[in-house]
Amino acid sequence: MNARKWIASATTAAGLALAAEAGAVPVGLELMLLVDTSGSVDAGEYQLQKTGYVQAFQSAAVQNAILANPTGKIAVSYIEWSGSVEQSVRVGWTLIDSAAAANAFAAAINATARIYGGMTAIQSAMGTQFTAFGTETGGTDNGFESPRQVIDVSGDGADNDSPIGLLPSGGRDNALAAGVDAINGIAILGEAGLAAYYQANVVGGAGSFYAEASTFADFGVEIVRKLEREITGVPEPATLGLLAAGLVGVGLRRRRR
């Protein structure tokens, strides 16, 4: 192990040890799920989106990804949002450290009922909920400590209700400035320009990425892929190919020298 990697490992280990001493549970990732329930999402689409998350946490792919991370556990919360003052924690911070815990979290999501159906305020959702990560982002202790805090945003429309001061990307920018490591977005297509909106104003931070589902019917498959990638931090095969090509290029340049 080179010196830089050793220092990084030692720093992470020390941080997790301090967290344990302070009473916080050390996990590999704190993941916040921000789910669009605005009026453009009809009852059937709402159910498809929610079921997608339920089945994702029941899937072997996501469960294996959780158990494969360095600590073998993550903390996750499930929040629904709509208008500028409409955000509700439907399932609070939950430790997932086993397949049984993942299934229980899925069951908790499944037991929730929709309460919003108004406007679309993505920036307000990101800009008001980031403190829920706890002390890492300037909020009160949420019982967990981790080296990564990630927001997962899903939705089918661009912002049309956040305060002017948060547009076009103020909610995202404030969350990142406060210490959120990455915000990843999955857009459910249909609205013109939505992909561009998500890439320009939602996604951000180190290692962040954009994903999309063609329809709500496709959401279940795509959210599994997205969660697996978020939890493991491993790029998609296409990205890995680009990285490999880059390494080959570096090797060729060294040989020529």
Mean pLDDT by 10 residues, the chain (257 residues): 42 46 86 98 98 98 96 97 98 98 98 97 98 96 96 98 97 98 98 98 97 98 97 60 37 36
The DSSP output letter for 134 is: -
The whole-number pLDDT of residue 233 equals 82
Measured distance CA(14)–CA(10) in Å, rounded: 6
Contacts of 32 (CB under 8 A, 6+ apart): 76, 77, 79, 129, 130, 132, 133, 149, 150, 151, 152
Q: Residue 74 is inside which H or E element, if any?
A: strand 74-81
Q: Extract the tokens encoding 82.
A: 């709509």
Contacts of 164 (CB under 8 A, 6+ apart): none
> Contact 71/78 with Cβ under 8 angstroms?
no
> Contact 102/227 with Cβ under 8 angstroms?
no
CA atoms within 13 A on the CB side of 38: 23
Domain total of the chain: 1
Measured distance CA(28)–CA(68) in Å, rounded: 10
Residue 92: name the closest of 129, 41, 146, 63 by CA.
129
E strands in 210-256: 210-213
E strands in 97-148: 144-145
Q: Could you tell me the CATH number of the domain that includes residue 180?
A: 3.40.50.410
Q: Extract the tokens encoding 190.
A: 């249909």
The DSSP output letter for 24 is: P
Domain-located, residue 139: yes
Domain-located, residue 235: yes
Residue 226: name the closest of 198, 256, 254, 190 by CA.
198
The whole-number pLDDT of residue 23 equals 83
Domain hosting residue 191, numbered range:
24-256
Domain-located, residue 227: yes
Domain-located, residue 179: yes
Q: Extract the tokens encoding 153.
A: 């945003």
Measured distance CA(56)–CA(60) in Å, rounded: 8
Measured distance CA(53)–CA(132) in Å, rounded: 20
Domain-located, residue 137: yes
Domain-located, residue 5: no
Domain-located, residue 217: yes
Local structure of 118: helix, strand or coil: coil
> Contact 148/231 with Cβ under 8 angstroms?
no
Domain-located, residue 3: no
The DSSP output letter for 113 is: -
